[in-house]
Amino acid sequence: TQLLKQSPQFLSIQEGENLTVYCNSSSVFSSLQWYRQEPGEGPVLLVTVVTGGEVKKLKRLTFQFGDARKDSSLHITAAQPGDTGLYLCAGLPMEYGNKLVFGAGTILRVKS
């Protein structure tokens, strides 16, 4: 059973479009993280959100942590081909202490 459910699984869009990726759970998390992974490489951390309702911006990327700390979203504005990759959410479920669990990921392809 996947603790973190990501949607959509796949997303193919044109350069310049906006998109949102979702990460949902029935469990409460002490923190959530977003990673980006390119083929043949390990995931690279983009951001960590800790406080319920927190919003963080990283250039064209906006991350939000739900008020109840059970879900998160990643919004990309004006997507570029360089944004192509696998986006993974990960977090520490409070019921499991320090165990870092991952969602299945969203594969994003941005066409030029």
Q: Which residues contact 67 (CB under 8 A, 6 or more apart)?
A: 52, 53
- State which of residues 20, 24, 27, 31 lies at the interface with another protein (CB under 8 A): 31
Q: Is 45 in the site for another protein (CB under 8 A)?
A: yes
Of 51-59, 60-68, 69-77, 96-104, which segment contacts another protein by CB under 8 A? 96-104
CB of 84 to another protein, least distance (A): 15
Q: Which residues contact 1 (CB under 8 A, 6 or more apart)?
A: none
Q: Which spans of this chain sit near another protein (rule: CB under 8 A)?
A: 6, 31, 33, 40-45, 48, 88, 90, 92, 96-105, 107
